[in-house]
Structure 1
Amino acid sequence: MSGSKRRTVLRGGAAAVLAGAAAAACSPGSGKPATTGGRADVSATDPARTPAGRRMPAETARHRRTYLAWPPLDSDWADLAEDVQRDIAGIARAVAGFEPVTLLAAPEEAKAARRACGAGVEVIPVPVDDLWIRDSGPTFVSGRKGLEGIDLRFNGWGGKQRHPRDARVARSVAAHAGGARLDARLTGEGGALEVDGHGTLMATESSLVNDNRNPGLSRDRIEARLKELLGVSKVIWFKGVKGEDITDCHVDALARFAGDGVVLLSRPRPEDGPTVWSRVYDQARGVLKESTDALGRRLEVVDLPEPDRAVIGRRGRDFLGCYANYYVVNGGVIVPRFGDRGADRRAASVIGDLHPGRKVVQVDIPAVAEGGGGIHCATQQQPRV
């Protein structure tokens, strides 16, 4: 079995095609807080909260730190473990150019992780099964008494993989951050949630309204609980697709808020013809065309074309060539680079234009992408509250 997060459920992983591949990181930089399209990003001060006093800030709000996890050598990545560790080190170094980084690593691998990531990255001894801390870690919100870490009861994406150590990561990270652990009373993953900080949440039904995570719970009941947990007043639901990848179509590889009333949508190449993913894109675009956000604004949808696989070379079935899985940091944006030079430049330009004042840093992630994930999947922000 591969170490793939998003391995194709019906066909198995294809990580072996990348054996021996190396990863490289871009040099870090600095920047200023973002505005979008001439409109100030007010997500850090928006007052939207639940009756319980909770609110999840947008990713563009200021962070106290970023968390990552070090995939152990004895993980399911097998002969790709060293390659994916290089990718994680590259991401960690890039993020550390903008804000503090804390990386979780098994005690016996902490020394190697420190050596790979450098002195700018804090490494703490916490056993993990894999690198996907967006999903296994806590989703942080601001509560009436300060920071709270929502534990989404990670169960290996609906029981598709066993992650006994990762199931305890949310508790460990919340404690390290000094926040209270909040049991979600739902099962899901952080990659299934995308908020704008003004009361709007985007999510896919396939990853949350699914008996492999929340048996017997209707969409309405799940929505009500998410509103209570995250401080949102409106949920934009996409249909998604079940069973085509291990996440059951997480929203963070499909649609992202990129400023006030602006949504970036990952667009498959039309030249590749109709596929299950082009149908997911078409359905999501149709929903967004008819949607408003929680403040009543019509949404501006910006397509973010995916790279050409014929240009980037042979890749496995699980390869995630998705620029939308980028990560916003204090003063910057960390964006994947796949080797299609034209598409890489276009993605950096589009994302940079939508996050003015932030420095765009592109990072090669061949092993992480081969496992079906991206930079956003491998990171989790702790907001300033």
Structure 2
Amino acid sequence: MAKSKRNQALNATVQRTPVTRRSFIKGSASLLGFSLVGTLAACGGGGSGGDASAPASPASTSPSTSSSTSSRTPPTASQMPYLMPGEDSPHTATYMAFASGADGIWAPLTAQSTDAGIDRVRADLMDVAKAIGTYEALNLLVLPVDLSIAQTLLATASGANPTLHANYLARGAGVGGVNLIVLANGFNDLWTRDTGCVFVKDTSNANALCAVSFNFNGWGNANTDSTNLNPGMTVPASIAASSNKSKAGKFFQPFANDHTLAAWMAQTNNAKLLQSTLTLEGGAIEFDGEATAILTESAVLHVNRNPQLFAIPNGVMANATLLPTAKATVLAELQRTLGVQKIIWIPGTATYPRGAGVGAQGGAATPANETDITNGHVDFYAKFLAPGVVAYAADPANSTAEQALMAANYRNLAGQTDAKGRPLTLIPLNAPTNYGTSNGVTLSDKQMTNFAAGYINFYKCNGAIIVPKFNDVAADAAAVATIRPYAGSRAIVQVDILGIASGGGGVHCSTRELPA
């Protein structure tokens, strides 16, 4: 979700400069060299072995039914054995990752910081972990160098969310708990929603657990003019050489270890690893557990991730055009791997992509003014509250400077039906008006550069829904009231995530469920 900042201080509302999500990503000098587009090298997850038999091209794809939907005749169970459970299905555990400074992605707070600093980010992550760990097991991945810090935060209450610690300690015997899992060289960044695998069930094999790797490549990273990086940081020559230069240099960050995380998660859970022919991130997929998915065009139909969906004349990326079969190709692959029968497409960010070239209609290359490294993940714009019911991001006050963009996404949702033919019920979930203040701290304009203000990025765990809190009393309460009718027996737990949000993400971005 692209963001602007508007924060109330001294009883006066101050309009901050509009910016967008996750342009915080910073450079580093260390990254293993490998192809930016391709299959995961370590693909032998679990005792069942890896699935290297992904089709080079999907079977009989049909054209999209409209510009905003892709659907197919429902296949038989034997044709579509894999199914991604809905997020509200029972979990065995949730995975998160503890922010590290090892790669220069996160750093201590200074006058030049464009976020709240690594200390606050870590405190928020532990608070989210405790909120979830009160209800289900939470596996927090930690690099060895950061273990003692994680242990200290786990043992103490934070200033921003003190009641979460008390509730965590008071949980029932044998319920939940935060497990610190030391993973040497196991990850680079904290966004496990994007970097980890997507767990699915094999419905033809007693619902055996499987895992899908979508070939994480640093959010379509291909960068390399070395501009807008932190002082002293450069893009490794191996990455610069393989770049198609269709994303700006400011988006570079190391991702070699993140690239291997899906296979590790599969192997750790004895899950057969399925290799997708698509490159995308978990935050790019919203699924109802019943065959309907919502995707953004901007994040999935992207040449840095999926060049096979484009015609690229003479290899010139700026002239790439989307193939007419692109959406059908995506649908066929998500049907094969996740059990998707219908995709509802929404634009995502900007107008990308809409046609040939990089002109007013958008095109293959990231627009020059794009500041969202994810290119508009759906998990900041739309989320299923229940099958047939979708919460969509709205901003009546335009406090995020995305009112028009959100309206465009809404228009693509309006009038849609799901894979079962049910008309979608659309519920607005309004963004906060004032944010950037927490526990006596008000972020500077610079620290608010990438602030992700929105409630759509909530997470459903066993027994609770974890919802962001921005200390806008009215907006926070309204978000809870909007979600509550669809919460069932789940508690709604709000967590002040100033630090995480300052890094351009939210609760959902930081989590990955392991279905029971």
TM-score, normalised with respect to structure 1: 0.84
Matched letter for residue 266 of structure 2: A
Q: Tell me by how many angstroms 1:270 deviates.
A: 3.3
Cα-to-partner distance string for 1:176-222 (whole Å, 9 max, x where unaligned): 22211211121100000011111100000110110010013122212
Aligned twin of 2:88: 60
Q: Tell me by how many angstroms 1:10 deviates.
A: 11
Residue among 270, 279, 289 paired with 2:404: 279
Aligned twin of 1:36: none
**1:69, 1:130 within 8 Å by CA — same for their partners in 2?**
yes
Q: Tell me by how many angstroms 1:162 deviates.
A: 2.3
Cα-to-partner distance string for 1:139-186 (whole Å, 9 max, x where unaligned): 111113411111111111110332111111111111222211211121
Q: Matched residues in 1 for 2:299 and 2:22: separation?
A: 19
Q: Matched residues in 1 for 2:344 and 2:382: separation?
A: 11
Q: Is residue 2:310 matched to residue 1:253? A: no
Residue among 243, 265, 272 paired with 1:180: 272
Q: Matched residues in 1 for 2:334 and 2:277: separation?
A: 10
Aligned twin of 2:173: none
**2:22, 2:372 within 8 Å by CA — same for their partners in 1?**
no
Cα-to-partner distance string for 1:66-110 (whole Å, 9 max, x where unaligned): 000011133411111221111110010000011011111112223
Q: Is residue 2:431 matched to residue 1:298? A: no
- Between 137-146 and 304-313, report the one with greater CA deviation: 304-313
Cα-to-partner distance string for 1:325-348 (whole Å, 9 max, x where unaligned): 000011110001011010001111
Give the match's secondary structure for 2:308: coil
**How many pairs align?**
345
Matched letter for residue 123 of structure 1: L
Give the match's secondary structure for 2:187: coil
Q: Matched residues in 1 for 2:133 and 2:152: separation?
A: 15
Residue among 287, 308, 311 paired with 1:216: 308
Q: Tell me by how many angstroms 1:272 deviates.
A: 4.5
- C-alpha change, 1:327 and 1:134, in structure 2 (3 Å) is same
- C-alpha change, 1:248 and 1:191, in structure 2 (3 Å) is same
Residue among 192, 199, 202 paired with 1:133: 192
**2:384, 2:391 within 8 Å by CA — same for their partners in 1?**
yes
- Between 144-153 and 127-136, report the one with greater CA deviation: 144-153
- C-alpha change, 1:141 and 1:357, in structure 2 (3 Å) is same
Which 4+ residue blocks in structure 1 deviate beyond 4 angstroms?
7-12, 47-50, 310-315
Q: Matched residues in 1 for 2:78 and 2:486: separation?
A: 29
Please, which runs of 5 or more residues in structure 1 have no aligned partner? 1-6, 16-46
Q: Is residue 2:451 matched to residue 1:319? A: yes
Q: Matched residues in 2 for 1:374 and 1:272: separation?
A: 17
Taking the TM superposition and a 5 Å limit, the aligned residue runs for 1:1-385 are: 13=24, 51-74=79-102, 75-79=104-108, 80-118=117-155, 120-126=177-183, 127-143=186-202, 144-145=204-205, 146-159=208-221, 160=251, 161-217=253-309, 218-241=326-349, 242=352, 243-272=370-399, 275=401, 277-309=402-434, 312=437, 314=443, 316-384=448-516
- C-alpha change, 1:308 and 1:290, in structure 2 (3 Å) is same
**1:48, 1:232 within 8 Å by CA — same for their partners in 2?**
no
Q: Matched residues in 1 for 2:76 and 2:292: separation?
A: 10
**1:325, 1:376 within 8 Å by CA — same for their partners in 2?**
yes
Q: Tell me by how many angstroms 1:11 deviates.
A: 11
Cα-to-partner distance string for 1:42-83 (whole Å, 9 max, x where unaligned): xxxxx9957140001110110110000011133411111221
What root-mean-square deviation, in Å, do the aligned CA atoms of Structure 1 and Structure 2 show?
2.4
Q: Tell me by how many angstroms 1:269 deviates.
A: 3.2
TM-score, normalised with respect to structure 2: 0.63
Please, which runs of 5 or more residues in structure 2 have no aligned partner? 1-17, 27-74, 109-116, 156-168, 170-176, 222-250, 310-325, 353-369
Q: Where is the helix percentage greater, Structure 1 or Structure 2? A: 1
**1:48, 1:55 within 8 Å by CA — same for their partners in 2?**
no
Aligned twin of 1:4: none
**1:62, 1:383 within 8 Å by CA — same for their partners in 2?**
yes
- C-alpha change, 1:164 and 1:331, in structure 2 (3 Å) is same
Give the match's secondary structure for 1:225: helix
**1:150, 1:181 within 8 Å by CA — same for their partners in 2?**
yes
Greater Rg over alpha carbons, structure = 2
**2:106, 2:118 within 8 Å by CA — same for their partners in 1?**
yes
